Amino acid sequence: MRIISLKTDLDQVISEYRKSGKRIGFVPTMGALHQGHVSLVEASRKQADVTVCSIFVNPTQFNDKNDLLRYPRTPEQDILMLEQAGCDVLFMPPVEEVYPVPDTRVFDFGYLDKILDGAARPGHFNGVGQVVSILFSMVKPDVAFFGQKDYQQVMIIRELVRQLNLPVEIVPCPILREPDGLAMSSRNTLLSAEERKVAAHVPEFMQKAAQIYHEQDIDQARSYIQEAVSSQALMRLDYYMICDRNTLREIEHKNQPAISLIAVFVGKIRLIDNLFLD
Ligand code: AMP
């Protein structure tokens, strides 16, 4: 695996690949890698000739300074995991390589940016749009892989690609979970042992709410989540919504394809998860 930190070095490698007609797969990450990230690399290896992974903790997508400061960083371990996963190129740029000057672009993602994490984390998706468009311009991928754990993010990226008319295919990949059901996340490592136990209730409550939704309706599912979360001293609900999977608008009829999405604080750590309601 080639490890690259400078844009000029990346340019050289990418232009060699392009000259030889290789299909380039790209997996952007913020590091502190887990099996969820590895599954994206594996998906890329199946669908592309070469896989480029980036590790970059993007300052512009953090609306909370402390969240940025305490974001986990485990570069040595990440390198080993990516080598084992068969990644070809790891791009780990310093901030100045990605933002030689401040990025002042403001995207208009319309409704998509005004709900759920867009409402809870102002500016977050604008920062995601900035970094992903910059990384796409550097890596020039044919195909890029994103986890459905960040379901709204996948929709934002698709909108970004549409607005900027970028020649890249976006492939959403399934959520990988720990044995107790908790969605894998770099932020899980920040939980104390007690918080980690409590966090396992998130997928459990989501499943139960899905059952209530099927047997009763949205309101009962929502009330159940509110009560279940508030019964846990260490948990605080940020949002729970049942939306149309294609639009992220709150569903009106049960025959719409539905997804439930949740954001919960466990202690100081904010976790997100989602579940298709089939
Ligand atoms: P992050 O490093 O958290 O920015 O995530 C990088 C990519 O990995 C994003 O496309 C995430 O959606 C994806 N990802 C994060 N957690 C998981 C998971 N548990 N399962 C699958 N993909 C994930």
DSSP code string of 189-209: GGS-HHHHHHHTHHHHHHHHH
Cα dihedral 128, 109, 248, 159 in deg (nearest 10): -70
Does the annotation mark 37 as catalytic?
Answer: yes
Out of 149, 152, 190, give the residue to mutate to test ligand 1, the one with the largest number of ligand atoms within 8 Å of its CB. Answer: 149
Cα 81 to Cα 5: distance, rounded to the nearest angstrom: 18
Q: What is the whole-number distance in angstroms between the Cα of residue 147 and the centre of ligand 1?
A: 5
DSSP code of 6? -
- Phi-psi sector, 157: left (phi>0), alpha (psi -120 to 50), beta: alpha
Q: Which CATH architecture has domain 186-273?
A: 2-Layer Sandwich (3.30)
Q: What was the pLDDT predicted at 231? A: 98
Q: Report the pocket of ligand 1 as residue ranges, CB < 6 Å.
A: 29-30, 36-37, 39-40, 146-147, 149-150, 173, 175-176, 183-186
End-to-end CA distance of the chain: 41
Tokens at residue 135, please? 């990384």
Start and end residues for every CATH 3.30.1300.10 domain found in the chain: 186-273
Supply the pTM of this predicted model: 0.98
Cα 62 to Cα 69: distance, rounded to the nearest angstrom: 10
Start and end residues for every CATH 3.40.50.620 domain found in the chain: 2-173
Tokens at residue 235, please? 């948990």
Nearest CA to ligand 1 atom 11: 147
Cα 201 to Cα 275: distance, rounded to the nearest angstrom: 14
Cα 140 to Cα 24: distance, rounded to the nearest angstrom: 8
Location of structure tokens 């952007």: 28
Q: What was the pLDDT predicted at 182? A: 98
* Angle between helical axes of 151-164 and 124-139 (0-180°, round to 10): 60
Quick one: how far is CA 145 from the chain centroid? 10
Q: What was the pLDDT predicted at 159? A: 98
What is the dotted CATH code of the domain comprising 2-173? Answer: 3.40.50.620
Q: Which residue in 105, 166, 102 sits closest to 137, CA to CA?
A: 166
- Do 242 and 258 form a contact (C-beta atoms < 8 A)? yes
Average pLDDT along the chain, 278 residues, taken 10 residues at a time: 98 98 98 98 98 98 94 98 98 98 98 97 98 98 98 98 98 98 98 98 98 95 98 98 97 94 98 96
DSSP assignment of 96-160: HHH-SS--------GGGGTSHHHHHSTTHHHHHHHHHHHHHHHH--SEEEEEGGGHHHHHHHHHH
Q: What was the pLDDT predicted at 278? A: 85
DSSP code of 56? -
Q: What was the pLDDT predicted at 271? A: 98
Nearest CA to ligand 1 atom 17: 36
